[in-house]
Structure 1
Amino acid sequence: MSKHDEVGAVRPLTLAWVTRHLEVGERIVRIEALRGGITAEMRRLTIGARDGSTRDLVLRSFVDPFYVPHAEDWLNREAAALSLLTGTDVPAPGLVAVDPTAAHCAHPSLLMTHVPGRTVLDDEGVETRLPLLARQLVAIHALRPAERPKEYVTLTTADTVVIPRGADQAAWDAAIAVIRRPAPPYEGRFLHRDFQPGNVLFDVSPARPTGTRIVGVVDWAATSWGPADLDVAHCCTNLALLHGPAWGLRFAQAYEQAGGRLAASASERLYWQVRDGLACSEEVRLVSQPWREAGRAELTTRVVEERLDAYVSTLMDALG
């Protein structure tokens, strides 16, 4: 077995578990680390059959002691979501097996099918991808599971916000005041809860840019039930940090143009937009590192902080 794994080999106990879920005559012929994950180690496993054909699976394992206590909940959410999405208009991996408590593996793990395609984080072509992202999120919110996932959780509070150095203090004080208010009433929807360009796979043809399409949405571990505005706000924040504040505002417009419904009043929309932007203030380093690894070397922590400050100020000017 050839191993191309920058973060260490998969433990024998986990390999044995994976092998038990393969077809008769199949074996693991290659292991490759996948970049971009923050909470879990991701690996692509190439599976070989007796006739020489191959297929790929993806193994997600929670190894970091900081995240392991959350693994059971997150893996159960993802397994339920992948099962729900089978046969729907939302392209996602198929569930193969899950061991949320590490009863059989060295670490809590989930095995799923591999979705072809790639993440695209470049500025070039964002105007083409924006409506695709919006339509995909509308399709996710249209799902009606027989059993609702857990209610959404927001961990950020007005007292835990990290104001960037040199930020517009008045704008941030006003934004923090917004999230001190009670959450607005909302109509619940099925949420991805981390829908953003880093979790969307595209088929992009350089020869036919207009033929770009979404082929997969991944990382369903935070699936929740809550306001559509929260998912939209999260994607807005990520687009603002990747491509500039204006793109964050444009995504909310694109979502409505695609048929999505947001909160009726500007103040309610502002609450969710600001809440997600301020939540990002606590995670700038975690958010920006995978982007740099993916080729956006210019997105240093400082640059992302400056873009976040500009975005929060833009929100307060445009919606406040």
Structure 2
Amino acid sequence: MTNHEEAAAVRPLTLAWVSRYLEAGERVVRTEALHGGITAEVRRLTVGTGDGGTRDLVLRTFVDVEHAEDWLTREAGALPLLTGTGVPAPGLIAVDPTAAHCEYPSLLMTHLAGRTVLDDEGLETRVPLLARQLVAIHALRPVERPREYVAWTTADTVVIPKGADAAAWAAAIDVIRKPAPPYEGRFLHRDFQPGNVLFDMPPQEPAGARITGVVDWAAASWGPTDLDVAHCSAILALLHGPAWGLRFAEAYEAAGGVLAATASERLYWRVRDGLASSEEVRLVAQPWREAGRTELTTRAVEERLDAYVTALMDGLG
């Protein structure tokens, strides 16, 4: 068995569990590992149907991941809230958050067309699409609110990159020592960024790109719109360069989004998420390299993060 085949293979108990949710006469005929995830194994399952056709499902499995039960329970709670809203999210089929039936905690959902796009080329077209999609997510008023957001870093857990601008980072850390600004809560994806957005990219017409799906709703929360914007900004800065991180908030507002009223409040959220990225640079960079962005070494991403945080503290954001 090749490494690819081994990665794609579904474990026996999990395959039996999946089979419970198939129609009569259906069976899984092919599996494919989908790359890009940081915490979960993600596989596309091709199901042979009774009429000789096929359809695809997606299986997310958390192997030896702390808080897997919580992540899957939250995602299973969020996906039904999105049904019929116009936000292109997967449909929930089944979840086994405690691995009562599967080898590891797992979630089964519908498959969405499209693919993630992490290349620099075409970014001018994709960024406004990302901004408009995020505005649409924040406009949702679900019948049930997800739990309140949780901060992903503290002033004491920030990891300052080697060779970083010490003064800028010290000032940034001081920013998040202060209490969070008041905010009007909205429905948040909480991990909205290019790696969790699927695109249809017509090869002959790059300007015709459109979003076909938003995935990974395990961190769905209730909180300030600035937090989602800050997270996408930070990831854009690491993936495509600091200038793109600084531009995303403008694209969000141009799409009709509303951010905090004062510059100091906006800075708080943007700095908080930028500093949170310092704790997971290695985890973030590895799947990007696996997806073809081989130049994004851990060191290269750390340098981009330093430049982004420094630019924020210089008032360029």
Same fold (TM > 0.5): yes
Partner of 1:311: 308
1:262 aligns with 2:275: no
Separation in 1 of the partners of 2:235 and 2:203? 24
CA distance in 2, matches of 1:251, 1:51: 47
How far is the alpha carbon of 1:147 from its aligned partner?
1.3
The 8 Å contact of residues 234 and 276 in structure 1, kept in 2 or not, is answered as: yes
Question: Which runs of 5 or more residues in structure 1 are unaligned?
Answer: none
Alignment CA distance shift 1:25-1:291 (3 Å): same
Q: Is 1:116 matched with 2:113?
A: yes
Contact 1:4 1:31 in 2 (8 A): no
Alpha-carbon RMSD: 1.3
Q: What secondary structure, in the 3-state scheme, does the structure 1 residue paired with 2:179 have?
A: coil
Alignment of 1:157-168 (within 5 A): 157-168=154-165
1:213 and 1:70 map into 2 onto residues whose CA distance is 33
Structure 2 counterpart of 1:75, from 72, 76, 80? 72
- 1:283 equivalent to 2:280? Answer yes
Distance 1:153 1:134 in 2: 23
CA distance in 1, matches of 2:167, 2:68: 39
Contact 1:241 1:308 in 2 (8 A): yes
Query: Any conservation in 1 of the 2:24–2:50 contact (CA below 8 Å)?
Result: no
Q: What's the CA shift for 1:40?
A: 1.2
Name the residue aligned to 2:63: 63
Shift of 1:319: 5.5
1:6 deviation in Å?
A: 3.6
Q: What is the Cα deviation at residue 5 of structure 1? A: 3.1
Task: State the SS of the aligned residue for 2:180.
Answer: coil
| Residue number in structure 2 paired with 1:12 | 12
1:140 aligns with 2:121: no
Residue 269 of structure 2 corresponds to 272
Secondary structure of 2:251's match?
Answer: helix
1:299 counterpart SS class:
coil
Instruction: Provide the rounded CA distance (Å) in 1 between the counterparts of 2:121 and 2:166.
Output: 32
- Which of 180, 185, 197 aligns to 2:177? It is 180
Provide the rounded CA distance (Å) in 1 between the counterparts of 2:4 and 2:237: 35
Q: What is the correspondence of 1:115-264 to structure 2 with a 5 Å cutoff?
A: 115-264=112-261
The answer to whether the 8 Å contact 1:236/1:247 transfers is: yes
Equivalent position SS for 2:162? coil
1:21 aligns with: 21
SS in 1 for 2:145: coil
- 1:150 maps to a residue whose letter is R
Corresponding residue of 2:90: 93
1:222 maps to a residue whose letter is A
Q: How does 1:38-53 map to 2 (within 5 A)?
A: 38-53=38-53
Identity of aligned residues (%): 80
Asked if 2 retains the 8 angstrom alpha-carbon contact of 1:72 and 1:100, the reply is: yes
Once residues 242 and 155 of structure 1 are traced to their aligned partners in structure 2, the CA distance between those partners, rounded to angstroms, is 20
Deviation per residue, 1:151-199 (Å, 9 max, x gap): 1111311111111111111111110110010000000011100000000
1:103 aligns with 2:100: yes
Deviations 1:247-303 (A, max 9, x none): 111110010111111000000000000000000001000011111111100000000
**In the alignment, is the contact (CA less than 8 A) between 2:230 and 2:270 conserved in 1?**
yes
Residue 136 of structure 1, CA deviation = 0.2
Please report how far the alpha carbon of residue 43 of structure 1 lies from its aligned counterpart in structure 2 after TM superposition: 0.9
CA distance in 1, matches of 2:108, 2:169: 42
Q: Is the 8 A contact 1:47 1:55 kept in 2?
A: yes
The amino acid across from 2:282 in the alignment is R
Mean CA deviation greater in 238-247 or 264-273:
238-247
Question: Deviations 1:4-63 (Å, cap 9, x if unpaired)?
Answer: 634263221111110010011100101111111111111111000122100110001111
- Give distance in 2, aligned partners of 1:46 and 1:275: 41
